C-alpha cells in the first residue's frame, strides 16, 4: 500500500510512502484488540477507592442497650453497619486492577488496529514539521488544512516535539504521541491517524519484530 505524503497546508508533496504489508495489511485479530484495549483501560484505574469497615470505625465498644425487653432488635455496638455512622458492609477497598497481556498479543493488536485504519483509508502521512513556539491556534490550522479538525485525531511523531505536544494539549479531540507511546486503544479511538513521515520507519521497526 502506498500513501501520498501531505504537508501541513494539506497539499501533496509529490512523495509517496510504501507501508509494510506485514503491519498495515494483515487480517485483523479482533480478540487481540479486545484483550489489549481491555488491559489498557483496566490499567488506567487507580484502585484507590476505600470505605471504612466496621472494625475501622472510631467509637465506643460498649453495649448500647440491654439485650432483652426493649421491643426492638438486639444491638451490641454503635459501629453496627445498620446504624448511621456505622461501618459499611462489603465496602470497596484498595486493589490493583492491572491486567497483563503478552508482548506478542500486544503487537498483534496494534498491527490489527493499524490494518483496520488502513482499510478504512483513515491514515494520513504528514510531512515532518516543527513549531517555533507552542500555539494551539497554529496547530488547529494544520488540522483544518488536513480536514480532521472536527474529528478525533491522533498524531504519531518519530521523536518528542514539545511545542507540537503543548499546542495540541488544549484540544479535546486531538492527541499527540511518539512511536513508543502508540497503543491499540489510541489507534482504535481516533477517527483519523496522522503519522509523520519520519515516524514510519521506526514504527515499522517496532512492530515488525
Rg (CA), the chain: 27
Residue 24 shares a structural domain with residue 85? no
Partner residues linked to 126 by β-bridges: 6, 196
Total domains in the fold of the chain? 2
pLDDT tens digits, one per residue of 163-192: 999 999 989 899 999 988 999 999 999 999
| pLDDT mean by block of 10 residues, the chain; 209 residues | 88 89 92 96 94 90 89 89 90 94 94 94 91 91 91 91 91 91 93 91 85
Task: Please give the model's pTM, rounded to 2 decimal places.
Answer: 0.82
Place of cell 497503543: 183
pLDDT tens digits, one per residue of 116-145: 999 999 999 999 988 889 999 999 999 999
Residue 118 shares a structural domain with residue 143? yes
**Rounded Cα gap, residues 96 and 98, in angstroms:** 6
**Phi/psi-derived region of residue 69, left when phi > 0, alpha when psi is between -120 and 50, beta in every other case:** left
Residue 166 shares a structural domain with residue 139? yes
Please tell me the predicted confidence (pLDDT) of residue 201. Answer: 87
Residue 102 shares a structural domain with residue 137? yes
Distances (CA, A) of 208 to 23, 161, 173, 175: 7, 25, 29, 24
Domain range for 58: 48-96
Residue 108 shares a structural domain with residue 8? yes
Q: Residue 202: name the closest of 147, 160, 163, 174 by CA.
A: 160
Nine-digit cell string for 80: 453496627
Amino acid at each position: 500500500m502506498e500513501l501520498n505524503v501531505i504537508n501541513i497546508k494539506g497539499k501533496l508533496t509529490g512523495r509517496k510512502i510504501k507501508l509494510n504489508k506485514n503491519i498495515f495489511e494483515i487480517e485483523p485479530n479482533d480478540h487481540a484488540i479486545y484483550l489489549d484495549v481491555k488491559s489498557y483501560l483496566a490499567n488506567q484505574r487507580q484502585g484507590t477507592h476505600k470505605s471504612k469497615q466496621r472494625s475501622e470505625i472510631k467509637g465506643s465498644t460498649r453495649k448500647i442497650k440491654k439485650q432483652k425487653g426493649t421491643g426492638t432488635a438486639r444491638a451490641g455496638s454503635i459501629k453496627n453497619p445498620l446504624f448511621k455512622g456505622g461501618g459499611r458492609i462489603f465496602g470497596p477497598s484498595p486493589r490493583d486492577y492491572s491486567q497483563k497481556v503478552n508482548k506478542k498479543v500486544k503487537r498483534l493488536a496494534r498491527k490489527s488496529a493499524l490494518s483496520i485504519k488502513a482499510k478504512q483509508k483513515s491514515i494520513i502521512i504528514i510531512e515532518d514539521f516543527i513549531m517555533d513556539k507552542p500555539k494551539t491556534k497554529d496547530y488547529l490550522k494544520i488540522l483544518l488544512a488536513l480536514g480532521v479538525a472536527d474529528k478525533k485525531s491522533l498524531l504519531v511523531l518519530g521523536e518528542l516535539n514539545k511545542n507540537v505536544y503543548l499546542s495540541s494539549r488544549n484540544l479535546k479531540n486531538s492527541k499527540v504521541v511518539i512511536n513508543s507511546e502508540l497503543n491499540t486503544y489510541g489507534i482504535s479511538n481516533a477517527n483519523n491517524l496522522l503519522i509523520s513521515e519520519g515516524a514510519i520507519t521506526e514504527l515499522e521497526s517496532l512492530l515488525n519484530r
